[in-house]
């Protein structure tokens, strides 16, 4: 790993939080996601299951976490299972964790090897009454795809058919969307690195640069600051390409007079930042660009003003939409007549703002969490309104990361340029 060691307290707290939610005499099993093969003998870049990361900080493949707080054998109440190191294989693929190294990272004192797992599991299964199994329950999951998380579930339930099974994901959704102070401290490092990358490209961008050159500048700044890399596919969209929400080709020239939408974030210690800024390629907003940008910023600031503990999430979305309608009316994109005649299921503002404004952020970029409950202390959100105008070949989005506290919210990107004046001044340097 490139990042500095994360204190094991973070993961110890996370496991304690999960254990408090478990039923009496229950066992929870969390196997890490597998390595996926490419053509030939190649593999895709490995990313462990988010819940295994959240519980242990271990990034090594074939890792398994076992939590059994009522186990009569006290030494077996928390067990971390790892691939046994093989000196010959390490000559090819590099170092694998030893037991003491895994304990230092995770705080789990009992570390076993994978070839011991089946025998150990049988003893635990014969003792436990309820078994928590983990699957991906993200609301946006494409369930038509092959599900590797279900392979382990089906095999275990087939082998032990008369146990009572429960869903670990339901507990994880509740816990992971409330960040501890320790999690926020790691996230702040990812955010700081992302801010440094923005500062770098604000000084770099000018007419004639290629989108991929900007991506390269961001990547350089990420890696030189110990980030694992990009939290997600880097979006560098100049001109009309900014209207494509997940544009990732990044292969066009940035031209004089265009706006440039940049959506990127660093991953550090397995926690993610998520930033969007829209800037003028030549360093100076036109009058119209400034007008639309300030309308988008007004919606963004409105979101920061109202996003507090106790607010129902659906009420937050309604308020954001009402503010967007107000701003689009103000800059002449919609009229009162448009609003009067609009389809309630497809309101007029949706022509220019066609995505959600907020998502959970954490150990994955679109982290788990409910969008029907109230906002709670400890949640970490993005606020990212956008205005996309086909007839003007313009797309503007502004995004910061907001941590909900007891007294309101904290903008974790508050110290980087966001206003027209701040962006122009930074680019002028």
pLDDT digits (tens, 9 = 90+) for 92-128: 989 999 999 999 999 999 999 999 999 999 999 999 9
> What average pLDDT does the structure give for the chain?
95
From 142, 176, 210, give the residue that closes a domain. 176
In-domain check, residue 398: yes
CB 155 within 8 A of CB 133: no
At 25, which CATH number? 3.40.350.10
Q: 73 and 29, same structural domain?
A: yes
In-domain check, residue 81: yes
Is the pLDDT assigned to residue 34 strictly greater than 90?
no
Is the pLDDT assigned to residue 47 strictly greater than 90?
no
At 303, which CATH number? 3.90.230.10
In-domain check, residue 4: no
Q: 334 and 197, same structural domain?
A: yes
From 123, 141, 176, give the residue that closes a domain. 176
Domain that holds residue 205: 181-428
In-domain check, residue 145: yes
Q: Residue-wise over 86-124: b if at least 16 C-beta within 10 A, else e?
A: eeeeeeeeeebbebeebbebbbbebbbeeeebeebbeeb
DSSP helix/strand/coil, 374: strand
Q: 163 and 189, same structural domain?
A: no
Is the pLDDT assigned to residue 37 strictly greater than 90?
no
Is the pLDDT assigned to residue 185 strictly greater than 90?
yes
Which of 285, 282, 263, 284 minimizes the C-alpha distance to 274?
263
The confidence score (pLDDT) of residue 149 equals: 82
The confidence score (pLDDT) of residue 351 equals: 97
In-domain check, residue 3: no
Q: 189 and 170, same structural domain?
A: no
Q: 259 and 130, same structural domain?
A: no
Q: 424 and 335, same structural domain?
A: yes
From 144, 176, 208, give the residue that closes a domain. 176
Q: 273 and 254, same structural domain?
A: yes
In-domain check, residue 18: yes
Q: 145 and 32, same structural domain?
A: yes
Please write the tens of the pLDDT for every residue from 372-395. 999 999 999 999 999 999 999 999
Average pLDDT over residues 60-72: 97
In-domain check, residue 2: no
- Tokens representing residue 134 in the block: 């983990």
Q: 214 and 123, same structural domain?
A: no
Which of 120, 119, 97, 100 minimizes the C-alpha distance to 108?
100
Is the pLDDT assigned to residue 141 strictly greater than 90?
no
Q: 328 and 261, same structural domain?
A: yes
Q: Residue 36: left if φ>0, alpha if ψ -120 to 50, beta else—which one?
A: beta
DSSP helix/strand/coil, 154: helix
Domain total of the chain: 2
CB 237 within 8 A of CB 276: no
Is the pLDDT assigned to residue 73 strictly greater than 90?
yes
In-domain check, residue 1: no
Instruction: Give DSSP secondary structure letters for 203-238.
Output: HH--TT-BHHHHHHHHHHHHHHTT--EESS--EEEE
- pLDDT band (50, 70, 90) for residue 164: very high
Q: 214 and 97, same structural domain?
A: no
- Tokens representing residue 127 in the block: 């003792």
pTM: 0.95
The confidence score (pLDDT) of residue 39 equals: 83
Q: 408 and 287, same structural domain?
A: yes
Other C-beta atoms closer than 10 Å to the C-beta of 71 total: 19
């Amino acid at each position: 790993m490139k990042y500095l060691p994360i204190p094991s307290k973070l993961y110890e707290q996370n496991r304690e939080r999960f254990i408090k939610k478990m039923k009496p005499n229950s066992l929870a099993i969390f196997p890490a996601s597998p390595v996926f093969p490419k053509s030939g003998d190649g593999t895709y870049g490995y990313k462990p299951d988010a819940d295994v990361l959240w519980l242990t900080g271990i990034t090594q493949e074939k890792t398994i976490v076992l939590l059994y707080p009522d186990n009569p054998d006290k030494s077996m109440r928390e067990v971390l299972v790892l691939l046994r190191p093989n000196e010959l294989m390490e000559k090819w693929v590099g170092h694998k964790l030893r037991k003491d190294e895994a304990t230092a990272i995770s705080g789990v004192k009992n570390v076993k090897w994978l070839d011991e797992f089946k025998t150990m599991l049988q003893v635990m299964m014969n003792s436990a009454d309820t078994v928590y199994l983990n699957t991906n329950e993200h609301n946006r999951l494409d369930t038509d795809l092959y599900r590797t998380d279900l392979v382990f579930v089906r095999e275990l339930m087939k082998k032990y058919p008369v146990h009572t099974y429960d869903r670990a994901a339901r507990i994880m959704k509740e816990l992971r969307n409330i960040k501890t102070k320790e999690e926020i401290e790691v996230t702040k490092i990812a955010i700081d690195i992302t801010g440094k990358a923005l500062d770098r490209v604000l000084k770099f961008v000018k007419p004639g640069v290629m989108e991929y050159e900007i991506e390269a500048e961001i990547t350089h700044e990420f890696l030189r600051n110990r980030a694992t890399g990009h939290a997600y596919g880097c979006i560098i969209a100049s001109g009309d390409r900014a209207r494509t929400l997940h544009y990732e080709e990044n292969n066009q020239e940035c031209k004089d007079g265009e706006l440039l939408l940049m959506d990127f974030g660093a991953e550090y210690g397995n926690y993610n930042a998520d930033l969007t800024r829209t800037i003028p390629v030549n360093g100076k907003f036109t009058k119209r660009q400034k007008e639309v940008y300030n309308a988008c910023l007004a919606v963004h600031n409105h979101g920061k003003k109202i996003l507090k503990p106790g607010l129902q999430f659906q009420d937050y979305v309604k308020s954001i939409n009402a503010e967007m309608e107000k701003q689009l009316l103000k800059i002449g994109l919609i009229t009162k007549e448009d609003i009067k005649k609009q389809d309630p299921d497809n309101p007029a503002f949706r022509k220019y703002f066609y995505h959600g404004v907020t998502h959970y952020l954490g150990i994955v970029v679109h982290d788990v969490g409910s969008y029907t409950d109230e906002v709670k202390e400890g949640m970490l959100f993005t606020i990212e309104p956008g205005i996309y105008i086909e007839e003007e070949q313009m797309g503007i989005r502004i995004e910061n990361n907001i941590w909900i506290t007891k007294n309101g919210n904290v903008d974790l990107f508050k110290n980087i340029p966001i206003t027209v004046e701040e962006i122009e001044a930074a680019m002028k340097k």
